[in-house]
Amino acid sequence: MNLSIANKNSIETLVQCYREHGYVKVPNALVDGAAEEIFANISTQEQWNLVFDHNGTHQDLNNIEVAQWEQKDKDNLNHLVNEQAAYGFQYFYETIPIYDIFHKNLMPGHFFNEIVKFLNCDLTLDFFRNLTCAPEITFADAQITRFSAGHFLNCHRDDVDNKNRIAAFVINLTKDWRADWGGALHILNDDMQIEQSFLPTFNEINIFKIPVEHYVGYVTPFTKEHRLSITGWLRSGKNPMAL
Amino acid sequence: MTLSVNEILNVDMLNNTFLKNGIVRIYDFLTTSSAEQLRQCLESKIDYANAFHLAGMNRQASDDEIAKLNNETRLGLYNDIYKAAAKGSGFLYGRHKIEPDSKPELTNALSLLNSAHMLDLIKVITNKNSLTHADGQATRFRVGDFLTRHVDDIPGETRQIAYVLGMTENWHPDWGGLLQFFEKSGQPTDSWSPTFNSLTLFDVNKIHSVTSIAPFSEKKRYSITGWFRS
């Protein structure tokens, strides 16, 4: 299967939108069948890292182990996560760190490596460079993310020191998401009002310039599906994970 | 006690925005002391009925009635409401219709919206010259509450312009409770985070929702909402 960006959208229109707003959505972004192929490989994945923050430190749990916890321990975890979410930065969702998996060769031969290669091939990086008018982009890092009922990613700006992040991207791989389920990507303006909301839409890429306040809205308790995507940053400089 | 509004200085701009988008928000709508009185009233003086949609019917129950249910029945009730919501239908939130015997802050707020001065302003902003009056209800969204996508222009109704007078201070968008507008396809167009003392007006044919309040919200989302009618 050929994983590559389709050229169905006018690059001029995309560039204009990105220049004007600092964000853009690319509908029908990958060539026919590519998003389906990625989806098929991700949707069967059982093991994920359940991630959240505790007092400024990133926490990683094995989702299969958490599922086997007693209810009171699950409740405690939810309490811990939500306590910090009320007035501070917090997140709660599942992830697969494919950028690390690829560069540390943790899963040789696995499909996940193909995703990282696709994101970092010249054709893909050129597409991103053109779209964001940032020829200095040298690589993309990436993770696969899965949001289910109760998950969220609170407001943040993504501008971490020394990471050289130019723009963030989200490749949406969720089919038939309903707007009522939450989980939209919201971009805020300087007044903390919502400038733009992106609904999870299959085979659509959302790209936005860093830094900007943004968040993934709380996924409602009545949501039955998973919100799947590949997210990451387009970065400049030397890839610290490359050999 | 009377409530009063600040003078609206940018009517032309509001009119242009409304004609372009079908939605417009007026900030700092009430005077500071009026907004404060109304906020206190909504937070502490109102008995809200929890309204929800179940088995094809709109129903309601007081906080007490819900509290009295045994755990199993209460969970079953929420599960049934959520089942419909998962398919995109239904709502769950607290409301109190403003009637002549409601708290004076509420009747005053409704009188204010029905004053000749205010009706004239709303007509100018929206170009809806047929507006004659507004109704209203106090609403409360707490953790878990939501209102799925819908339009307000029910056939046979006289609703022209929907309004939301936001009365929650220092809301954070992370908490949900957004007034969100959509295209028919479900793609979001505008999302408005609750803003204290703002009056949002929108055309009743706009598809909209109030997003679910996250469990970590430490506030409740209060507002007065209703319709300007002809």
Tens digits of residue pLDDT in B75-118: 999 999 999 999 988 999 999 999 999 999 999 999 999 999 99
Return contacts of B45-50, CB within 8 angstroms, 24+ apart: B45/B103, B45/B105, B46/B96, B46/B103, B46/B106, B46/B138, B46/B140, B47/B96, B48/B94, B48/B95, B48/B96, B48/B138, B48/B139, B48/B140, B49/B94, B49/B95, B49/B96, B50/B92, B50/B93, B50/B94
Q: Do B216 and A82 touch (CB under 8 A)?
A: yes
Query: What mean pLDDT, rounded, does chain B reach?
Result: 95
Q: Which residues from chain B sit within 8 angstroms of residue A193, using beta carbons?
A: 192-193, 195
- Strand, coil or helix: what is A50? strand
Closest CB from A182, A186, A199 relative to B173: A186
Whether the CB of B148 is below 8 Å from some CB of chain A: the reply is: yes
Q: How far is A70 from chain B (nearest CA, A)?
A: 19
The residue type of B132 is T
Mean pLDDT confidence for A19-47: 96
Task: Report pLDDT digits (tens) over A152-164.
Answer: 999 999 888 889 9
Q: Do A184 and B188 touch (CB under 8 A)?
A: yes
Asked whether the predicted pLDDT for residue A200 surpasses 90, the reply is yes
- The Cα-based distances of B72 to B83, B85, B178 in angstroms read 16, 20, 31
Q: What angle do CA A80, A85, A87 make, to 5 degrees?
A: 125
Asked whether the predicted pLDDT for residue B185 surpasses 90, the reply is no
H/E element, A147: strand A143-147
How many angstroms separate the CA atoms of A40 and A17, rounded?
Answer: 31
Whether the CB of A152 is below 8 Å from some CB of chain B: the reply is: yes
> ipTM greater than 0.85, yes or no?
yes
Query: What mean pLDDT, rounded, does chain A reach?
Result: 96
Q: Do B193 and A192 touch (CB under 8 A)?
A: yes
Contacts of A5 by beta carbon, 8 Å cutoff, 6+ apart:
A29, A30, A31, A123, A124, A127
Q: Do B186 and A198 touch (CB under 8 A)?
A: no
- The Cα-based distances of A95 to A30, A63, A101, B119, B151 in angstroms read 22, 10, 12, 53, 37
**How many Å separate Cα B195 from the centre of its chain?**
12
Residue to test with chain B: of A215, A220, A223, A226, most B Cβ within 10 A: A220
